[in-house]
Structure 1
Amino acid sequence: MKYLITGILLCAINFSLGDVESEFKKAKIEPDIIDKAPIEKIEVKYGKKVVDFGTELTPTEAHEIPEIHYKHEGGVLYTLVMTDPDAPRRGGYNREFRHWLVGNIPEENIAKGEILAEYVGPAPPKNTGKHRYVFLIYKQNQGAITFDERRLSTWDGSQRKRFSIKKFAEKYNLEGPIAGNFMVAEYDDNVPAYHKRLNL
């Protein structure tokens, strides 16, 4: 009986891990911006709204920094990114828009990480459809990294364009992504105010 329960648990774990990969492939995040999908899930919550592989939120609902949790190891540093691969619109050749980038995160304590790009929520332009907003976690095997990126504030909207998480990860020899999640959002009436704040 013990072996049967263990087998069922292992099957459930394998199924959930496979789920993450299959959801990323179904949404074409692999291969659009990463070569290999993660197998672990990042827990992302905007207040009571839980992000679960393609959950649709409005820009208004996702305006504030979300609560983030992921599987981590003691004493290890991580990098977190939230990126929009559909800027300015989905289809054709686009580069990503970096919405949030934090490095040197001790375990999962994002507040103690090094902010490379302050959080800005989704702000897809009018008539550009639903954009994918992808959360990815990378492991820093070499410990603390000296990032030579320009630090981006909320106002640096134009500097956030033409990003590539794949090139960023290669540049700093990051492992992964080891975990991920994503949501979708499209234009709402508050977007013009967000664009003004971003200097776009």
Structure 2
Amino acid sequence: MALLGLFLVSFAFLWEPYKTETILLPQDLRDASFCHGGLKVVYPELEIDQCSVIPNDQKLREKLSKVWKAPQIYFPKAQKKRMYVLVMVDPDVPRRSAHPAYWRHWLVVNIKGYSLLTGEIRGETLTDYLPPTPPQRSGYHRYQFMLFEQPPHTKISLTKEESSRGKWNLQGFIRRFNLEDVATLQFLTQHFKD
């Protein structure tokens, strides 16, 4: 019986998600200040709760790009009756530069606060989730998750010009709907073959 218990404990340990560590590249030290507010992003085998670089251990980069669906999003400070907006972007398209060209990977509005406490996002999806897919040999890309408080009685939508995911004017979108930043998180990854 003791052997069975030891086996079960060992098995449970093996199935815990990989917890990223804060590993910043020298040129990316400024990225550490981006993360704030306590947002947590959870994929099947990967848990991200701080600015991190995704290692290529356990084929995490490949799974992130090709296997896993949208992550669970946790925000323990969410107020149950408030509404939130979740944005996921890559500001490094086609490669990192001083002038971000945001590629919109995911946009969900009207998120009920209580759903952020459980990780199951309940809201209206304006842009379906697109996994991180940095092109080969384009270096590290930042994938940023931003959570905003949605003002009461505000109908959020994309304009006709914003129907494309690329070259999105994120700052204009934030200003247009008077969104208040409550938490942000990012991770860096590159093509899984690099």
Query: TM-score, with normalisation over the residues of structure 1?
Result: 0.67
Name stretches of at least 5 consecutive residues in structure 2 with no aligned partner. 1-27, 55-59
Equivalent in the alignment of 2:184: 180
Match of 1:91 among 82, 97, 100: 97
Correspondence list, 1:21-170, <5 A: 26-28=29-31, 39-51=36-48, 52-56=50-54, 57-61=60-64, 63-70=68-75, 71-109=77-115, 111-149=121-159, 159-170=164-175
Question: Which amino acid counterpart does residue 96 of structure 1 have in structure 2?
Answer: Y
Question: Contact between 2:86 and 2:146, CA under 8 Å: does it hold in 1?
Answer: yes
Q: 1:166 to 1:126 in 2, by over 3 A?
A: same
Q: 1:170 to 1:29 in 2, by over 3 A?
A: farther
Aligned-pair CA distance for 1:146: 4.0
State the superposition RMSD in angstroms. 2.7
Q: 1:40 to 1:94 in 2, by over 3 A?
A: closer
The SS at the match of 1:50 is strand
Question: Which amino acid counterpart does residue 76 of structure 1 have in structure 2?
Answer: R
Question: Contact between 2:35 and 2:51, CA under 8 Å: does it hold in 1?
Answer: no
CA distance in 1, matches of 2:62, 2:153: 35
CA distance in 2, matches of 1:82, 1:94: 14
The SS at the match of 2:63 is coil
Aligned-pair CA distance for 1:99: 0.4
Equivalent in the alignment of 1:9: none
CA distance in 2, matches of 1:50, 1:146: 29
Counting aligned pairs with the same residue, the percent is 28
Aligned-pair CA distance for 1:167: 1.5
Of the structure 1 ranges 123-132 and 139-148, higher mean CA displacement relative to structure 2 is found in: 139-148
CA distance in 1, matches of 2:173, 2:32: 16
Query: TM-score, with normalisation over the residues of structure 2?
Result: 0.69
Aligned-pair CA distance for 1:129: 0.3
Deviations 1:87-123 (A, max 9, x none): 1101243310010000111115254211010001111
Runs of 4+ in 1 over 2 A off after TM superposition: 25-30, 59-63, 108-112, 141-144
